[in-house]
Chains A and B, each alone.
Chain A
Amino acid sequence: MINEHLPALQVVVPLLAAPICFLILINRLSWLFATLVSWLTFAIAILLVMEVHDGTVLHYEFGGWAPPWGIEYRVDILNAYVLLIVSGIAAAVFPYSWKSIQKEIPESHHRIFFTAMMLCLAGLLGMTITGDAFNLFVLLEISSLSSYTLISLGRDRRALTASFQYLIMGTIGATFILIGIGLLYALTGTLNMTDLASRIPALAGSRTLEAAFAFLIVGFGLKLAMFPLHLWLPNAYAFAPSAVTAFIGSTATKVAIYALLRFLYTIFGAKFSFDYMQVHWLLMPLAVTAIMFASIVAIFQDGMKRLLAYSSVAQIGYILLGISLVNVTGLTASLLHIFNHALMKGGLFLILGAIAYRVGSTNVKSVAGLGQAMPFTMAAFVIGALSLIGVPLTVGFISKWYLILATLEKDYWPLTVLIVISSLMAVVYTWRIIETAYFQERPANAAPVTEAPLSLLIPAWTIIAANLYFGINSGLSTDLASSAAKMLFAGSL
């Protein structure tokens, strides 16, 4: 009975929980409630994955209004997979956030924090699950507005400018998306994705359709931080509170990539996107530049959050590169990297939060001597860094393997070389931190530090352990990613 409502509950539960978080006047209770809701959401996502992993597609008609008039939620392997990632990261960040925000956000704002996090989660999950293009825009705005709030909660005053910068760029992106969807509506008279997909082939050659396509690519390009539309990202990640960086950094851009894939493959269809519009020749050079440029910039950063933010821009480049290869292996690599990168960056940002909690700074210099003072935190960082580099037995290796295989299938060996070189640059920028932590003494006048509290360590280690688990036993992630990739290709031919 309840099972058939799972798709709705996936979004409705966190959406309704958000105002309740604000109404619970005791901070700690509000947090406990939010944590429970995030776990419940994760459980729903797991149930959904179990229902659709064999290829079934779930349809849910909101309020009983049949599509294409009503809003339809449509769950297939692809979005169930993304739901799992988003809710899984949330389930680790919520328990973590209590301790972390004690030192980073004034107490009066704690309930706002939980409310905005919950709204952001609801928005991201909704964007992923919806089968309605306009509904996607609405939920995108919910997640964006709440993330502007979350970023501005950072204790550094520069968080305000970072948030404002993101607000301007994000709004431009959202406007572009809205224009794109509006043009599609004007052309077809429908907003339902399946319905759009069936009507678009008849419109081949329409200039309006091409314009809609262009607006949507640029709009989602902004939201997913595609080079050179990534300028909002480093500041936003650097000045947001640690828990926010961990959550947004590993989920928000991923959901935007999901939405892009949905439009490219399901709505416009691979024939239109790749054969006719040749969008991969736009994505590939941008992806290549992102990988090279952002990796080089990351090497020269002094702030670790900013360093990892630039690394994220490069990693998003990998994902776009896989998409731009337009073969099943490449798409599998991209989808896998969405999962794997969420685990790497989620884990690493949570660790930075633990360092910030004890040391009060996330500058590279501030980790000096922490190898001895915070052994468990730094050991987790080393594993996360190895995963980012792509060392075997970590998830990073699985992504690289598929991505390199995809470039070989296409005979694009210069791209193979590029992937390898950028992995080596990841060695350079992560090893600087590791060397400082293990080989430099803490400054004599610095206050003594102890290991991070368990309430920070356990969530961080859970995600870091997942980096190893899914690196050794990648069955779940590779199965889901490759069936989703095959489904996208098969569905759009």
Chain B
Amino acid sequence: MGFLMGLMPDDLIMLALCIPLFTAVGIYLADPWPNVREGVTLVGSVLLFIAVVALAPHILAGERPNLALTEILPGLEISFTVEPLGMIFALVAATLWPINSLYSIGYMRGNNERKQTRFYIFFAIALSSVMGIAFAGNLLTLFVFYEVLTLSTYPLVTHAGHEKARNAGRVYLGILISTSIGLLLPAIIWVWYVAGTTDFTAGGILAGHISGPLLTLLATLFIFGIGKAAVMPTHRWLPAAMVAPTPVSALLHAVAVVKAGVFSVVKVVAYIFGLDLLKTAPGIEWLLYIACFTVVVASIIALQQDNLKKRLAYSTISQLSYVVMGALILAPLSLVGASLHIAVHAFGKITLFFAAGSIYTASKKTNISQLNGIGRRMPWTMTAFTIGAISMIALPPAAGFLSKWYLLMGASQEQQYIAMSVIVLSTLLNAAYFVPIIYAAFLKPEDPVQERDHKEAPLPMVIALTITAAATILLFLFPGLALELAQAVGVPVS
């Protein structure tokens, strides 16, 4: 597969967009043979990984490869430009897709889920749109793929097809479509109207075009219009989406979809507004406070959830707002923290979801109160869970420590004391809702009556969650690549 490494960067962008689509076609054709179908998914996901990795050296070398596809309206193109932030996001998604595919195979078969072919097809399409978002060269392209991602994940959320899933699907679409069409799209047209372009440019494109309260209004439209970032009160779709099969919750609703949201926020702040311009917006700190509020309140709600996936979902909402905070502190250091957190949280949270899914597959347990002593039956799963939780709390040696460090440094540089105290407070809250689970799993005696006698989950699932847990630690020990990319976010190429 070395030939992929030698390709031109713009060919690699094309490949990254097309490989998942071809994979979807292949999955459709292989419908009658489940083993071939799963083979197609695995091969496709590995190829995507190679294509994205092959792009990374170009970006590190300071290149910003560009690919223009078609002109939708005069002067308004569907075009792609790879820059460091997009590279981080694409790398995270492309790394986790093969692992998640491995996990999906175990989960979907282990639970005898229906309509598996449809599941894998929409999964692949969702990955293609994630690549489109990561590499989008302007706001319009970002918006197009943002909507494709919403629509392609809708069948995954409603996968079970029952009344509850359908209602959840309504909340999911209702919030994501109404915020994007209602707020994000007008914001994009507004940017186009005042600046005459929507291209992502390091340092921003709006300076000199808009100022004062209108600037704050525009920023507000973006923050709430990007509903996938789940800043309160647009967060309700995320807990609703938890009716989906766990691999969907893991890759899409802990990594791809939610990260597409916070990625867009960071991208807009760094590449459309520019930190310096946004600092002049009156009352902009209130947006930061809303993110702080989301961090704390989501953590408090998480404390009260007994359903494990629900607790993880609220934890995700809280962690996403870290990234939004990082962007809105408006310091270069906190921007590094925000960019890092996109990667760091992805590895930690996917591990936690993998663990939740493997507990469900092995024992059919969904609630935290049922988990007493489960660590002895499922040592691999619960060890991985512990590593993921440590990363969420942000303790060394897990990667969560890194991003929080940068966030704190940025906040102190800008003397945002409220943000600093929120970071500290939420660390305590994170500990409060994760440590009891770990304690119960390993130290409490098992309930005497067990519905089923079980051991570890199927092997593919255990392999997958071990890899992501290991990656969480490795990312702490060897942060070089991620850090180098994060530090280049929003910095113009000299």
Q: Give chain A's interface residues, CB within 8 Å of chain B.
A: 386, 389-393, 397-398, 400-401, 404-405, 408-409, 416-417, 420-421, 423-424, 427, 431, 435, 439, 471-475, 478
Contacts and interface: CB of A to CB of B under 8 A. Distances in A.
B416 interface: no
Contacts of B166: 435, 439
A392 B158 contact: no
A390 B209 CA distance: 28
A253 B190 CA distance: 31
Contacts of A423: 181-182
A483 to B, nearest CB: 12
B72 A471 contact: yes
B70 A472 contact: yes
Contacts of B143: 392
B189 A401 contact: yes
Contact of B181 (A398, A409, A424, A475): A424
A336 to B, nearest CB: 10
Contacts of A390: 181
The SS class assigned to the A binding surface is helix
Contact of B140 (A392, A417, A431): A392
Contacts of A400: 185
A355 to B, nearest CB: 21
Contacts of A391: 147, 151
Interface in B113-159: 140, 143-144, 147, 151, 158
Interface string B61-100: 0000000001111100010000000000000000000000
Interface in B161-198: 161, 166, 170, 173, 177-178, 181-182, 185-186, 189-190, 192-193
Nearest to A419: B186
A473 B173 CA distance: 27
A421 B190 CA distance: 17
A54 B177 CA distance: 40
- A-B interface, 8 closest residue pairs, ranked by CB to CB distance from nearest: A392-B144, A408-B193, A404-B189, A420-B182, A424-B178, A439-B166, A423-B181, A427-B177
Nearest to A421: B182
Interface of B: 70-74, 78, 140, 143-144, 147, 151, 158, 161, 166, 170, 173, 177-178, 181-182, 185-186, 189-190, 192-193
B177 A424 contact: yes
Nearest to B179: A424
Contacts of A417: 186
Nearest to B189: A404
B185 A420 contact: yes
14 contacts: A391-B147, A393-B72, A393-B144, A397-B72, A400-B185, A409-B193, A417-B186, A423-B181, A423-B182, A424-B182, A427-B178, A431-B173, A474-B72, A475-B71
A393 B189 CA distance: 15
A386 B185 CA distance: 15
Given A392-B143, A478-B74, A420 B189 contact: no
A475 B147 CA distance: 23
Nearest to B150: A391
Contacts of A389: 181
A6 to B, nearest CB: 29
B189 A408 contact: yes
Nearest to B193: A408
Nearest to A409: B193
B161 A439 contact: yes
A375 B178 CA distance: 27
A15 B71 CA distance: 40
Given A404-B186, A439-B161, A398 B193 contact: no
A398 B72 contact: yes
Nearest to B74: A478
A421 B144 CA distance: 19
Contacts of A408: 189-190, 193
A214 to B, nearest CB: 36
A488 B304 CA distance: 64
Nearest to B76: A401
Contacts of A401: 73, 189
A294 B148 CA distance: 28
A472 B72 contact: yes
A475 B71 CA distance: 8
Given A427-B178, A435-B166, A478-B74, A405 B189 contact: yes
A397 B143 CA distance: 12
Nearest to A391: B147
Contacts of A431: 173
Contacts of B177: 424, 427
A401 B181 CA distance: 11
Contacts of A398: 72-73
Contacts of A471: 72
A400 B144 CA distance: 14
A389 B173 CA distance: 13
B73 A474 contact: yes
A392 B140 CA distance: 8
A431 B174 CA distance: 10
Q: Most chain-B CB neighbours within 10 Å: which of A389, A398, A431?
A: A431
A213 to B, nearest CB: 34
A420 B186 contact: yes
Contacts of B192: 405
B181 A420 contact: yes
B143 to A, nearest CB: 6
A405 B173 CA distance: 26
Contact of A405 (B140, B181, B193): B193
Contact of A473 (B70, B140, B178): B70
Contacts of B140: 392
B344 to A, nearest CB: 32
B163 to A, nearest CB: 9
B261 to A, nearest CB: 18
Nearest to A389: B181
Contacts of B182: 420-421, 423-424
Contacts of A475: 71, 74
A478 B166 CA distance: 39
Nearest to A413: B186
A386 B152 CA distance: 13
B67 to A, nearest CB: 16
Nearest to B147: A391
A392 B142 CA distance: 11
A478 B73 CA distance: 8
Given A393-B144, A404-B185, A471-B72, 5 more contacts: A392-B72, A392-B144, A404-B189, A420-B181, A439-B161
B400 to A, nearest CB: 36
A50 B170 CA distance: 47
A376 B177 CA distance: 24
A229 B319 CA distance: 54
A469 to B, nearest CB: 11
A389 B181 CA distance: 9
Contact of A416 (B70, B173, B181, B186): B186
A312 B299 CA distance: 47
A435 B168 CA distance: 13
Contacts of B71: 473, 475
B321 to A, nearest CB: 25
A424 B179 CA distance: 10
Nearest to A398: B73
A389 B73 CA distance: 18
Nearest to B140: A392
A387 B51 CA distance: 33
Nearest to B166: A439
A188 to B, nearest CB: 40
B210 to A, nearest CB: 12
Nearest to B181: A423
A479 to B, nearest CB: 8
A409 B196 CA distance: 13
Contacts of B181: 389-390, 420, 423-424, 427
Contacts of B74: 475, 478
Nearest to A471: B72
Contacts of A472: 70, 72, 78
Contacts of B186: 404, 416-417, 420
Contacts of A427: 173, 177-178, 181
